[in-house]
């Protein structure tokens, strides 16, 4: 199933159901499934579902299938299918056996539809889509029977066969289940189970011109695969009676049960595939894997770790109540994972030049890549006559409590000397462009005598620093629920500062880092080499994954 380290399962209502089923002997083992449609890239909501379905199978030593619901051929592609498989593997899971497809069962699905017709439980309807909507009724008004509802079994079998044979135009006829047009559940008012659609299918090509509907396909696919617990989100709760009805009326040996949990609503994101596609098509983002996107591909490219996402899914839990989650929970889980694994190096994003006036005799010093993980090794921190520091670490007129550099003041250079600023050089506009400083040669690796130096800042030797493109990513939207108001275009809430690209400098130890290598840039945040544009030994490109602390909540309050 996976190579993940063992973890303590978090109790939830689905586990309670499974425990009872195993204890009672209803099931001797469990089989779950993850059934995405290959019509887009997976997002953070899918990540929760992946962790749930695969995680349950892993914890109970069962099986989890990956099954593509490929019943809507116009929107599906192998590109999407491959990306989904990549996402599942990257998150640390492996499905049981081969990838499964709804199209594997097209002949069986057709045969079960014939069975329903023979039982008088399905009929071919000639109503147009508009007429069907009218006949269906509303939440307060019962539907009414189609004038074609009482066709004979023989006529329905003939028409359905001719539908498959391509005799009728798209939309001319549809196969419907015969249930109850007066049902209080609109899903039970003779739902469509097959429609005519001439579209090239990614697997069956042009073999079929009729395709089964999702509600009909899904439950039968579950039954064929022996799924014990069919887990989905709450919007399918009203579809459960139809799930049961189909399985009760076709000759399947297995009768799975459907259980619903609340879908994830993550603040400052959207998870509508249609709206995510709009962001891509209108070029508000650079693609499905843009690091600002809530897609698994985007989160991965930004530098979120698989372990961090799994921990996030564990923390938010599984329930039937509203699951509106602050982005800080996701960022916190990722930050904690990176804290333990990311080597610490130095980068300067907004450089201010420093000239050391008494450089002669100065030495470099060795430093750990991580103070708590000596196994990550050490590197030399070069020291030079000319340095870069962050411009924000200097103030001519410091605010109260300032612990960084100012004219006449001292600070500790990280892994190096105590340094004093003696003079600030300005340009014609009065802007500081260089600092003239001196070091205390007696303070390499030890404190100065007779005085305390409170501040510590990082630096780079200009001679040894490497240029790097640094992409500072922030939240894509300025409000927590950008699509909550249906009267307002969600794009109006796009954060204009969600991406800032700067040319900075990094220490030479990262020169040969492969794509998707994680670092903590000391005092600046966690960063990851870009999996697309970064070139080891060449162009260096770093994406900010997350800041060192949750500064967003404080800024917005």
* Cα 388 to Cα 405: distance, rounded to the nearest angstrom: 13
Nearest alpha carbon to residue 461 among 366, 367, 385, 387: 387
Query: DSSP characters for 9-72?
Result: PPP-HHHHHHHHHHHHTS-SS-EEEE---SSS--BHHHHHHHHHHHHHHHHTT-EEEEEE----
The 3-state secondary structure of 147-203, one letter per residue: CCCCCCHHHHHHHHHHHHCCCCCCCCCEEEECCCCCCCCHHHCCCEEEEECCCCECC
Give 313's Cβ-side CA count (13 Å radius).
Answer: 24
Catalytic residue among 37, 225, 410, 522: 37
Q: How many CB atoms lie within 10 A of CB 38?
A: 23
Q: Is 487 a catalytic residue?
A: no
The one catalytic residue among 273, 365, 385, 414: 273
Tokens of 113: 């539809």
Element (H, E) at 212: strand 210-212
Backbone conformation region of residue 548, classed left if phi is above 0, alpha if psi is from -120 to 50, else beta = alpha
Residue with structure tokens 């887009």? 40
Q: Which of 534, 533, 526, 473 is nearest to 501 (CA)?
A: 473
CA–CA dist 47, 87 (Å, integer): 9
Helix (H) or strand (E) holding 307: helix 306-316
Do the beta carbons of residue 550 and residue 526 sit within 8 Å? no
Tokens encoding 519: 């670092």
**The tokens of 182 are what?**
């007066």
b/e for 132-142, b at 16 or more Cβ within 10 A? beebbbeeeee
DSSP labels, 326-380: -HHHHHHHHHHHHHHHPPEE-EESSEEEEEETT-TT---EEEES-TT-GGG-EEE
Within 8 A by CB and 6+ apart from 442, the residues are 448, 449
Which three-class secondary structure string do you get for 429-489?
Answer: CCCEEEEEEEEEHHHCCCCCCCCCCCCEECCEECCCCEEEEEEEECCCECCCCCCCCCCCC
Give the C-alpha separation, 437 to 353, whole Å.
10
- Residue 163: φ, ψ to 5°: -60, -45
* Burial tier of 249 (Cβ tally within 10 Å: 0-12, 13-18, 19+): middle
SS3 108: helix
Per annotation, catalytic residue among 89, 149, 263, 436: 263
Which among 370, 366, 354 is positioned nearest to 411, based on CA atoms? 354
Residue 37 bears catalytic tag: yes
Taking phi over 0 as left and psi of -120 to 50 as alpha, with beta for the rest, 454 belongs to: alpha
Positions annotated as catalytic residues are 37, 263, 273
């Amino acid at each position: 199933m996976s190579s993940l380290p063992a973890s303590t399962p978090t109790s939830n209502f689905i586990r309670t159901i499974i425990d009872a089923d195993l204890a009672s002997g209803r099931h001797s083992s469990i089989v779950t499934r993850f059934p995405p449609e290959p019509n887009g890239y997976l997002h953070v909501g899918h990540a929760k579902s992946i962790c749930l379905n695969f995680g349950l199978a892993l914890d109970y030593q069962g099986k989890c299938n990956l099954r593509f619901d490929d019943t809507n051929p116009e929107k599906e592609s192998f590109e999407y299918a491959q990306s989904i498989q990549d996402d599942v593997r990257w998150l640390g899971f492996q499905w049981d056996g081969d990838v499964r497809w709804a199209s594997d069962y097209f002949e069986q699905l057709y045969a079960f539809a014939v069975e329903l017709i023979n039982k008088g439980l399905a009929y071919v309807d000639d109503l147009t889509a508009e007429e069907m909507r009218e006949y269906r009724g509303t939440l307060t008004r019962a539907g009414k029977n189609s004038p074609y509802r009482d066709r004979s079994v023989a006529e329905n079998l003939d028409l359905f066969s001719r539908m498959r044979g391509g005799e009728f135009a798209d939309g001319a006829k549809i196969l419907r289940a015969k249930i109850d047009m007066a049902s209080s559940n609109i899903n039970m008012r003779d739902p469509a189970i097959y429609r005519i659609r001439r579209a090239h299918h990614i697997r069956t090509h042009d073999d079929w011109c009729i395709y089964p509907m999702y509600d009909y396909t899904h439950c039968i696919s579950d039954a064929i695969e022996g799924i014990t617990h069919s887990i989905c989100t709450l919007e399918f709760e009203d579809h459960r009676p139809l799930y049961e009805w189909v399985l009760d009326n076709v000759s399947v040996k297995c009768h799975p049960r459907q259980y619903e949990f609340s879908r994830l609503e993550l603040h400052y994101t959207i998870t509508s595939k249609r709206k995510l596609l709009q962001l891509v098509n209108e070029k508000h983002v650079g693609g499905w894997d843009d690091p600002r996107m809530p897609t698994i591909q985007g989160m991965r490219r930004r530098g979120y770790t698989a372990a961090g996402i799994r921990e996030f899914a564990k923390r938010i839990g599984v329930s039937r109540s509203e699951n509106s989650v602050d982005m800080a929970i996701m960022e916190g889980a990722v930050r904690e994972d990176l804290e333990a694994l990311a080597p610490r190096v130095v980068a300067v994003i907004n450089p201010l030049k420093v000239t050391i006036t008494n450089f002669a005799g100065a030495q470099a010093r060795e430093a750990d890549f991580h103070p708590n993980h000596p196994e990550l090794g050490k590197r030399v921190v070069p020291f030079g006559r000319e340095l870069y520091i962050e411009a924000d670490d200097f103030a001519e007129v410091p605010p109260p409590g300032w612990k960084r550099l100012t004219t006449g003041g001292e600070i500790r250079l990280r892994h190096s000397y105590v340094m004093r600023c003696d003079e600030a050089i300005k340009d014609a506009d009065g802007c500081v462009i260089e600092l003239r400083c001196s070091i205390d040669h007696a303070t390499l690796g030890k404190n100065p005598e007779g005085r305390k130096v409170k501040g510590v800042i990082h630096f780079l030797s200009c001679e040894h620093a490497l240029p790097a493109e640094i992409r500072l990513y922030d939240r894509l939207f300025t409000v927590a629920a950008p699509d909550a108001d249906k009267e307002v275009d969600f794009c109006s809430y796009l954060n204009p500062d969600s991406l800032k690209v700067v040319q900075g400098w990094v220490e030479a130890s990262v020169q040969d880092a492969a794509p998707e290598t994680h670092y903590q840039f000391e005092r600046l945040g966690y960063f990851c080499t870009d999996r697309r544009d970064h070139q080891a030994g060449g162009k260096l490109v770093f994406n900010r994954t997350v800041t060192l602390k949750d500064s967003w909540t404080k800024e917005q309050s």
